[in-house]
Amino acid sequence: MTLHIPFDNSYAALPDTFYARVKPEPVKAPSLIAINEPLARDLGIDGLDDPNLAALFAGNAIPDGASPLAQLYAGHQFGQYNPQLGDGRAILLGETIGTDGIRRDIQLKGSGRTPFSRMGDGRAWLGPVLREYVVSEAMHALGVPTTRALAAVRTGDVVVRERPLPGAVLTRVAQSHLRVGTFQVFAARGETQALQTLFEYAVARHYPEATDPASFLDAVMRRQAALVAHWMSLGFIHGVMNTDNCSISGETIDYGPCAFMDSYHPETVYSSIDRYGRYSYAAQADIIVWNMAQLATALLSLMPDPEASVEAFTTQIHTMPEMIRAEWLQRFGAKIGIADPTPEDAALIGDLLTLMQTAEADFTNTFRGLVDGTARDQFADPTGFDHWSEAWQSRIASEDDPKGRMSAANPVLIPRNHQIEAMITAAVGGDDAPFARLMAAYATPYGANPDFDDLRSPPAPEEVVQATFCGT
């Protein structure tokens, strides 16, 4: 074996109540779809010419130094608490410290059953693996904190969902896989010592500046507020913001029924299981506050006087909507060329969004059109936009380099749902060329490239994808 991953594992050193030690289940005929060589180099991984690379990233062989385990957590799923979830189809191989000095997890997703699989088979099919690979790497290129994709492998096995489908395994990299639900499971069980150990571990790994549960909560809230505002500035809809899908590190995690909006509407939902719009585009700002309230509840038992701390934590949570508004205003201010937006500018931004909603204008192309002068083309009747544009041009007249600011905030390309679905259909048929093309295009989403101009187009009516599905 020439592949070398410099493991430096810490989670495996925690008490065994935090996880179950389990090895990946071998697959029939692993074949490599993609390896993210730049990320591998950043992680200090050597030996990518190893002929057994596919077997290693499928779980058929365990790299030296790995300490495979499935993590325990709980979570609120669509508002209902599930007391035990855990990694039902994912196995943490271990951790590395990258060339930037940051510790990161390396996890196999779709690697077989674990003690937390419940009735599941522990496997993943090709579609969700490629969706997460493409979208997570696109999010990274867009500048959004996110888990990363290190490798994707076909397994040669059949996974049965509504129909037989080709199996696959994704290798995912994250600053950690600690979730709100990780704290919830020990709090709900009354295992205060385990909760204290988890708190100390999370502080040391992610928030060394935190001195107590209150300052830790504040630090997590600030990262989450910035993350969700960033999502919204790109028209991104996570789709399943359960507390078990809410990363303590402030990274985007679990790309199941996610999608980027085409036509702007604040109530847009893509998730096939979100029947009431709990996780719609606009609702994300409220849901992240709700999720942080669940984290606060879990942390209460670590306070010297939990009952007396309820009011203080409640007050703390109530500060979060203003955090999000401030982050949202900064992000959207940049999208229209304003460096230090004011509350009056929020009205200007809101007016544009209202016009876009009424006209069913494309979110990405309208904002990018402010850079290249084509935004007006998004409106069948441009009268309202013309009036708005006069006020906007007057506002940015005194700004320093508004076009440069807008160019940096408004991507040319985003992973559009119909293009992702077409790529998956091709890959199921054995054609990975569309996957490779999307990866090349999304690597530089802010730069114009004539070779990828066709990817800027929203879907034709017959191409619209109404719903995406969880990655099972």
- Contact (CB, 8 A) for 427 and 126: yes
CA dihedral 35, 37, 43, 47 (to 10 degrees): 80
Vertex 415 angle, CA 410 and 421, to 5°: 160
Q: Residue with structure tokens 């054995």?
A: 430
Residue 286: active-site member: no
- Which are the contacts of 317, defined by CB distance < 8 A and separation ≥ 6? 221, 289, 292, 293, 296
Q: Please tell me the distance from the alpha carbon of residue 257 to that of residue 259, in angstroms, as a whole number.
A: 7
Identify whether the C-beta of residue 413 lies closer than 8 Å to the C-beta of residue 362.
Answer: no
Whole-angstrom Cα distance, residue 430 to residue 156? 12
Q: Distance between CA 299 and CA 184 in Å, rounded?
A: 8
Q: How far apart (Å, rounded) are the C-alpha atoms in residues 75 and 78?
A: 10
From CA 196, how far away is CA 216, in angstroms rounded? 12
For residue 269, with 0-12 CB atoms within 10 Å meaning exposed, 13-18 middle and 19 or more buried, which class applies?
buried
Report, in angstroms and rounded to the nearest whole number, the Rg of the chain calculated over CA atoms: 22
Q: Answer yes or no: are the C-beta atoms of 235 and 357 closer than 8 Å.
A: no
Q: Give the active site residue among 87, 105, 157, 244.
A: 244
Residue entry with tokens 């300052």? 215
Measured CA angle at 128 (ends 126, 132), to 5 deg: 120
State the DSSP code for 25. Answer: P
For residue 86, report the phi and psi dihedrals to the nearest 5 degrees.
90, 170
Length of the chain: 472
Q: What is the rounded distance in angstroms from the CA atom of residue 225 to the CA atom of residue 220?
A: 9
CB count within 10 Å of CB 330 equals 19
Between CA 83 and CA 69 the distance in angstroms is 20
Which residues are tagged catalytic? 244
